[in-house]
Structure 1
Amino acid sequence: MTPDEAEEVVHEPQNAGAFSLATILDEADDQLEHPDFKDKPQGGWDEETKETEAAQGYCIECEDQPAQVRCEACADDYCEVCFAAQHRKGSRKSHTTKPIAAASIQKASPSASGSQGLGNGGHQGDSDDELDQVVSGTTTENPVVLETQPDSGSTVGDWFLERSKFIPLRLTLGERKYLRLLEAALNVSEYTDKIDTIGFQLSKAKRIVHQIRELCAILGGLVLSADYKQGQELFSDRDFAANEEFYQQVFELGRRHKIMNPDKMRSTYGKLIYLLQDSQTPEVKNMLSFSCVKPIRTVYTVLEEHDALDLLREDLIATATKEIYSEGRMRREIQKDIKAKEKAVETLSKKYSRNGLSQEQVRQCLYSIGDNHSFLRTNRDPCDRMILYLKQYFHPTHPKDNKSSLAIKSGKGGARLSHDHSKQYAYVLQSLTLWREILHDMFHLWYLAESDLLSDNVPYRLRDTGQGLNRVQAAPKTSRMMHAILNRAQRSIGSWVGSSVIHMGDHNVPNALMFIDKYSQIYRILLPICNTISHIPSLMDKPALRSYIEDEFGSEDGLCREILGDFFRHGFDGSGADNFFDAGSCIDGRLTSAWNWCSSLEKKRFFPVFLLTGFIGFDGDW
């Protein structure tokens, strides 16, 4: 014990006597300190906080986003997300804002923003910004939150330009061969079984390196068996570091394929991401002597590399990337659209082909944007259809009866919320609107999720969340984007029913991968319901089925109303978990309740109608 420590021991008993149960429970307990607490900064916490201020033109709350609104009551500047999610609470709920003119928003210099992220304790420093650029392939400091449609002040070309930053490039035929090899190697790999476990004597870093090298060796063997000449060129010296570019390319095309096709790689993508996540740790990097991660190739990065971004501002871009569907259309109209699209693609590919950028690569970029449109129609449009059904059958202005009422009561029918018809209608409408906005920006969210997952300065911890061991990791960039989407949905609705808590990095949603997997399943819930409703008229054309429907449900309209009413009531009733923190009315709890309704569909009296319309399951193909 040093003389200073001895002196502290002599003087502490007087204060230690005051540290008792009575003083802890006293009203002035906020002034009480534990006698052994020595980590308090000199001058106090409040004093240090006052010494740092947000850079001019930035939000005073998060300090890393440009200020967009000024609170008229407090005279402080906030970004829209922080004002809605943090400031406008409790007694400040009545505070009003006025927008800050764009000209008055001054961006801090690179040196100022860097010092701000480190000195003020911001969650995004220089390394986070660099990782944003690596994952998204862009150099945008503050990504613009995409609107559902182009703003009135922006052109369609600007909308395509911004959105292309997050649209992965479609795989070529040669890349698809390597994709099959990657999937085969991941299928036989036992990576997560060996790494995410407790009780191994070998250090975790050594186990990670061993498993990564083993997977790379399997890939090398598969390449050698598929193409002996290429395999000999790549792996003759068995040097993993020398083939760094090859491994990065194979892992990148796997990530790119998954983003474009969420239904694919359902059992292998998580294994791949966890492997890459571990490979980013400094200790593993040093032992491996090479990096496994490279930027995702997007439409924007390819065109920017060859100075061809003007392609996205062409008037023909909408025609060249249009998705052509056949539902409810005449063959002549379909053929006309096909010819117009082919002509637009050929015109643009010839105009923008140049040295290093072939016509086929230009076509690939255009087809990739078209794939994004197809994704939106499959995943986002069921939300639009359900919103239309909700307004058509259950709008508060319509006459009410027992079948038309959406009222729920806690404890009745498994519900854990109590809403009257109008409140439940608003609750369902805002939930479907929020899901639609999330799916509209899913590619953007996916990039931010990978950025959080592959960050080398946001560690994870292995924890039993009640559903086995999971990697619990904070996701600051994904969380911020989600708050921006929530704020946009709240403004479009006008009022909000229930909680606005977004779970991220806890036992409900352990990490960004679980978040992406959770919300990419929305269409699996809504699409079977939409398809069943749309097929009911064809059932009415068959006399036997028509008689069954009329006897059981009264009419075609009565059947649709019963199916939709049951889903809108008990698919959004807060059920599906043991407590209000895991389900209830929070943002993630709404999706939990919908999944809970799906699990009980077989007990509903209208379940035979689902089977008659071709229903296989909520995880089946339609």
Structure 2
Amino acid sequence: MVKRAKFVPLRLDAEERIKLRLLEAALNVSEYTDKVDIISYSSKSKRIVAQIKDFCAILSGLVVAGDYKLGQELFSDRAFSENEVFFQNVFEVGRRHKIMNPEKMRSSYGKLIYLLMDSVIPDVQDLLGFSCVIPIKTVYTFLKETESLELLHDDSIAMATREIVSDGKSRTHIDAEIKRKEKAMEYLCETYQNERITRDQIKRCLLSLSDNHAFLRANRDPCEKMLKYLTKYFSPTKAEPGYSLAISSGRGGHRLTHNHATQFAYVHQTLNLWREILHEMFMLWSLSDDDLLSSNPYRLTNTGQGLHRIQACPSVSREMHRTLHRAQKKSGSWIGSSVIHLGDKNVANAFMFIDKYNQVARILNPIVLTLDKLDDFSEDPGLQEYVQSTFGGVEQCRKDILLDFFRSAFDGSGADNFFDAGSCIDGRLTSAWNWCSQIEKKSYFPVFLLTGFVGFDGGSWS
């Protein structure tokens, strides 16, 4: 719990949520990256400073418009450098909120992180006159400041921070679990409150840790469910007639050649790797924040998909290699390439890395949801007849979907060459996205729509 608390961001309080709204409003109208990430012969440092000051001016104007008295206190006849703490806190709130809610700030977070990335360049910071970056507030740092770290060692914290799910449980059972959790939280608040930390602050820490469990359930658990489906419906060594996982390069868009046993192992180890990465996602995000904001130089390069900032990611790279080693150790042997793209044209920087692996849940969750909801078809005679006549029953339909996913989403496709896709660590995710882009062409696509499928990116399907 101590180790995890070091990387779990602290929930925003009411005052911080006001700052978040200000930041989001400023980011929505800012054209920072459009004006900075361009090929120009003018001084880039001066251009960056001018854009950061413009952004701070927008923030200042929004504060004055929202609370004139506070705006007067902060900005009347004062330079931006004199409000360094205010700007640092606003930017920190945005970074913290994004980590806790990966689905939020989809279009604006990139601007924020690139602005802060530029602000730590030594020449820029000298011209700017103040620093925009402070460490992200975590549960651990907050408890350390209030001298309350013993809270993390209490046995009751496991119960107080657990997530209660309704899967297969009666209402009575769920209510009993809720009461046990509330009792554990009440005990911890009562036991550890003192003049340095209030009950509300203790509860805020506990809820922040609970948020981490909710994140893991939504992002890591789909990998575990897909692993269960893989082992339930397919043998690791022998293929059932008509349900072989074997693929051949050049056929059906596949880029790899595997027999059934090899493909089973390849899919199994890939899902295990994704599970390991998502289990430590908060830590990886913290490390990526360090890499991005550590004044490491970057170069603006045309990667074939526009201009991107290519920057080394030493901290993320070290942890990713450790994660890969754990996954390889669990698998016993490794099939395919073990190359991890970081700081190159495929994964330009740590921000791109985080964005890439946040897609895993967006891919797997809709599939798992569809597979789970197939059992509900038995309650509707019309749907039951459709599935029976088209696929031969619910179980056959489920197997058909899984067969196609395990073959076509793990076949090295999705790019023009093996360096960009293939069997490398990041290429496996590229292949899965390629399968997603072709979902409407599948024979089972109507089944997805009938179970409430609205797309892999959270939008509506048209």
TM-score normalised by the shorter chain: which range applies?
over 0.9
Q: Which residue of 2 aligns with 1:506?
A: 344
Partner amino acid, structure 2, of 1:424: Q
Pick from 49, 70, 73: which aligns with 1:233? Answer: 73
Counterparts of 1:361 and 1:524, CA distance in 2: 33
Q: Which residue of 1 aligns with 2:435?
A: 597
Partner amino acid, structure 2, of 1:188: V
User: 1:621: Cα distance to partner?
Assistant: 6.2
Query: How do 1:97-496 and structure 2 match up within 5 A?
Result: 160-199=1-40, 202-396=42-236, 400-402=240-242, 404-456=243-295, 458-496=296-334
SS at 2:369 equivalent: helix
Q: Percent identity?
A: 61
User: 1:238: Cα distance to partner?
Assistant: 3.2
Q: Which has the higher helix share?
A: 2
Counterparts of 1:474 and 1:620, CA distance in 2: 31
Counterparts of 1:579 and 1:556, CA distance in 2: 38
Counterparts of 2:171 and 2:217, CA distance in 1: 21
Partner amino acid, structure 2, of 1:162: K
CA contact (8 A) 2:340 2:425 kept: yes
Counterparts of 1:347 and 1:246, CA distance in 2: 36
Counterparts of 2:394 and 2:103, CA distance in 1: 33
Sort the Cα spacing of 1:370 and 1:614 in 2 relative to 1 into closer, same or farther, 3 A. same
Higher relative contact order (CA 8 A, sep 6+): 2
Give yes or no for the alignment of 1:532 onto 2:370.
yes
Counterparts of 1:448 and 1:437, CA distance in 2: 16
User: 1:325: Cα distance to partner?
Assistant: 2.1
What TM-score do you get using the length of structure 2 for normalisation? 0.98
Counterparts of 2:25 and 2:170, CA distance in 1: 43
Question: CA offsets per residue over residues 525-554 of structure 1, 9 Å max, x none?
Answer: 000000000011111321121111111111
SS at 2:136 equivalent: coil
Question: CA offsets per residue over residues 186-241 of structure 1, 9 Å max, x none?
Answer: 11000000000013x53111111111111111111111111111111101123101
Partner amino acid, structure 1, of 2:224: D
User: 1:569: Cα distance to partner?
Assistant: 0.1
RMSD: 1.1
Q: Which residue of 1 aligns with 2:402?
A: 564
Counterparts of 1:510 and 1:317, CA distance in 2: 39
SS at 1:461 equivalent: strand
Moved over 6 A (4+): none
Pick from 411, 415, 418: which aligns with 1:580? Answer: 418
What TM-score do you get using the length of structure 1 for normalisation? 0.73
Gaps of at least 5 residues in structure 1 are 1-159
SS at 1:391 equivalent: helix
CA contact (8 A) 2:245 2:406 kept: yes
User: 1:335: Cα distance to partner?
Assistant: 1.4
Partner amino acid, structure 2, of 1:550: Q
Partner amino acid, structure 1, of 2:331: I
Counterparts of 2:208 and 2:412, CA distance in 1: 38
Pick from 365, 369, 382: which aligns with 1:544? Answer: 382
Counterparts of 2:2 and 2:78, CA distance in 1: 43
Partner amino acid, structure 2, of 1:176: R
User: 1:315: Cα distance to partner?
Assistant: 1.0
Query: How do 1:13-28 and structure 2 match up within 5 A?
Result: none
Partner amino acid, structure 1, of 2:252: G
SS at 1:166 equivalent: coil
User: 1:399: Cα distance to partner?
Assistant: 5.5
Counterparts of 1:341 and 1:508, CA distance in 2: 45
Partner amino acid, structure 2, of 1:459: P
Partner amino acid, structure 2, of 1:190: E
User: 1:355: Cα distance to partner?
Assistant: 2.0
Gaps of at least 5 residues in structure 2 are none
Partner amino acid, structure 2, of 1:301: T
Partner amino acid, structure 1, of 2:180: A
How many residue pairs get matched?
A: 460
Partner amino acid, structure 2, of 1:446: W
Partner amino acid, structure 1, of 2:276: E
Partner amino acid, structure 2, of 1:450: D
SS at 2:6 equivalent: helix
SS at 2:410 equivalent: coil
Question: CA offsets per residue over residues 338-385 of structure 1, 9 Å max, x none?
Answer: 121112112111221222311111111110000000000000000000
